[in-house]
Structure 1
Amino acid sequence: MNKFAVKGLTLALMMAGGSAMAALPSGATGTTVSGGSVHFTGSVVDAACAVSQDSVNKEVPLDQVRLAAFGTTPGAGVAAGQKKAFSITLADCDSTVSSQAAVTFNGTEPQGLPGALDNTAGAGGAQGIGIQIYDADGSALPLGQESKATTLIDGTNNLNFTADYITTSDTAPTAGTVDATATFNVTYQ
C-alpha cells in the first residue's frame, strides 16, 4: 500500500470516528443497561496442597462400548475392559506439611453392585450398567474407601486413576447413555 493510500485511509477513519461522536447531542451521556452478573467461587484450604482448578469439576468421557464387551452370561461385576485414565491434580504442594495424599470418591451406588457408581442417565439410559473407579495399581476402588496413599513431592502431584463401564445386576444389560457423578475428598497424611 502506498503512503498516500495509508494517509487517505487514516483521514477517512478519523472523520468517521468524529461523525459518530458528533451524532450524540451535546450533554448526552448514552444509555446503560443491565448486563448480568459475575459469580466468583473458590475456597481457601489449610492443607499440604490445593486441588488444581482443572480437577475441581473434572469431565472423563468414556469411549463408546458395545454390549458384547460384557459377554453373553449376565452377572454383576463384569467390566467392559476399556479403562479410561484420569487424574486428580494437586498443586502448590509442600511435602513438609504432609508427606502423602489419598482420595476418597463418593456417589450413588447401584443396588446390585455396591462400591460402583450408579448410572443416573434416566430415560434412554443403559440399564444394568454403572462405572467402576480403579486405583493407580488397577485394583477396584470402592466408593467411600480411600485410595492407596501417594507420596507427595513439592509442587504438582498427579493422583492417577482409571474408570470403566461395569455391569451392576444379574440381568442382561441394555444399551443407552451412561451418566454418573462422583465427588471426591483428599486426605493428607
Structure 2
Amino acid sequence: MQKTPKKLTALFHQKSTATCSGANYSGANYSGSKCFRFHRLALLACVALLDCIVALPAYAYDGRVTFQGEILSDGTCKIETDSQNRTVTLPTVGKANLSHAGQTAAPVPFSITLKECNADDAMKANLLFKGGDNTTGQSYLSNKAGNGKATNVGIQIVKADGIGTPIKVDGTEANSEKAPDTGKAQNGTVIQPRFGYFGSLLRHR
C-alpha cells in the first residue's frame, strides 16, 4: 500500500525587484542595454518521494531555487546529505532568450540522491512533482499571477536522459519518475540511487 508523505508542499519565490532604466514591460524592466530581470517569480511545487517517503520543500529568490529534503520516520531510505539542502542557481538571462513560446534558457543540472536503501526499495522509489492546482498534464511550474510578477514564464524540469524529456508536474503516479539504480549493492544495501534532472526557465506562451 502506498504511503502518504506528512509534508508535501514547497514554495518557489523570487523576490527580485532589480530594475534597469528604460521602458517598463510586463514582468520586467528593459532598456537598450538589454537588461532583463524578473520582478518576482513565485512558483508553487510539491515534491514527494513515494515508498521512501521524502518531501522536498523549495524556496527561491532572485533566480535561485533551493531544494530542501526531509526524511519522515516511516521511510525505508535516507536522503543523501548533499541533496537535503541543495541550491540550484538559475542565471539571469536576456529577454531575447525567452522571446517565443516553448523556448528555454539557462538549463542547470541537479540531482536528488538516496542512500541506505535495499535493492528492492531503491528500484521502487518514486519521485513526484506537483505544480499547484489545475496542472493536469503540465510540464512546467507556473508563476503565480499578480502585479509586478513575470508573465508567461515558468520553471521546466527535464530528465537528464540525453534527450531532455520534460517532467510533468501534476503529481499523478502515472507521471512519477523512477530512481535509477546507480549505486553498488553492499550487504543488500544500494548506496546511491539517484534522480538526475535539469531545471531551466521556460517561456510557455
Letter in 2 for 1:51: I
Between structures 1 and 2, the one with greater helix share: 1
Match of 2:180 in 1: 150
| TM-superposed deviation, 1:152 | 5.3
Match of 2:29 in 1: none
- Tell me whether 1:44 sits opposite 2:57 in the alignment: no
Whether the 8 Å contact between 2:97 and 2:103 is mirrored in structure 1 is no
Percent identity over the alignment is 28
Whether the 8 Å contact between 2:114 and 2:192 is mirrored in structure 1 is yes
**Cα gap change, 1:106/1:163 in structure 2, threshold over 3 Å: closer, same or farther?**
same
Match of 1:116 in 2: 140
1:87-118 alpha-carbon deviations (Å, 9 max, x no partner): 1011212214443533211123788x932101
Match of 1:161 in 2: 197
Match of 1:79 in 2: 104
Match of 1:187 in 2: none
Counterpart mapping for 1:65-144 below 5 A = 65-71=93-99, 74-75=100-101, 77-80=102-105, 82-108=106-132, 114-120=138-144, 123-137=147-161, 138-143=164-169, 144=171
Structure 1 vs Structure 2 CA RMSD = 2.9
Letter in 1 for 2:72: S
Secondary structure at 2:193 match in 1: strand
- The answer to which of 62-71 and 99-108 deviates more is 99-108
| TM-superposed deviation, 1:141 | 0.8
Structure 1 residue runs of 5 or longer lacking an equivalent are: 1-40, 170-189
| TM-superposed deviation, 1:50 | 1.4
Whether the 8 Å contact between 1:133 and 1:141 is mirrored in structure 2 is yes
| TM-superposed deviation, 1:62 | 0.6
Letter in 2 for 1:164: S
Letter in 2 for 1:89: T
For the pair shown, the structure with the greater C-alpha radius of gyration is 1
Letter in 2 for 1:83: P
CA distance in 2, matches of 1:133, 1:57: 18
Secondary structure at 1:60 match in 2: strand
Between structures 1 and 2, the one with greater strand share: 2
Q: Which has the higher contact order (CA 8 A, sep 6+)?
A: 1
Whether the 8 Å contact between 1:119 and 1:126 is mirrored in structure 2 is yes
Give TM-score scaled by structure 1 length.
Answer: 0.54
**Cα gap change, 1:91/1:121 in structure 2, threshold over 3 Å: closer, same or farther?**
farther
Structure 2 residue runs of 5 or longer lacking an equivalent are: 1-69, 184-189
1:128-183 alpha-carbon deviations (Å, 9 max, x no partner): 110000012121111122124412531123321101111122xxxxxxxxxxxxxx
Secondary structure at 1:150 match in 2: coil
Secondary structure at 1:104 match in 2: strand
CA distance in 2, matches of 1:122, 1:110: 17
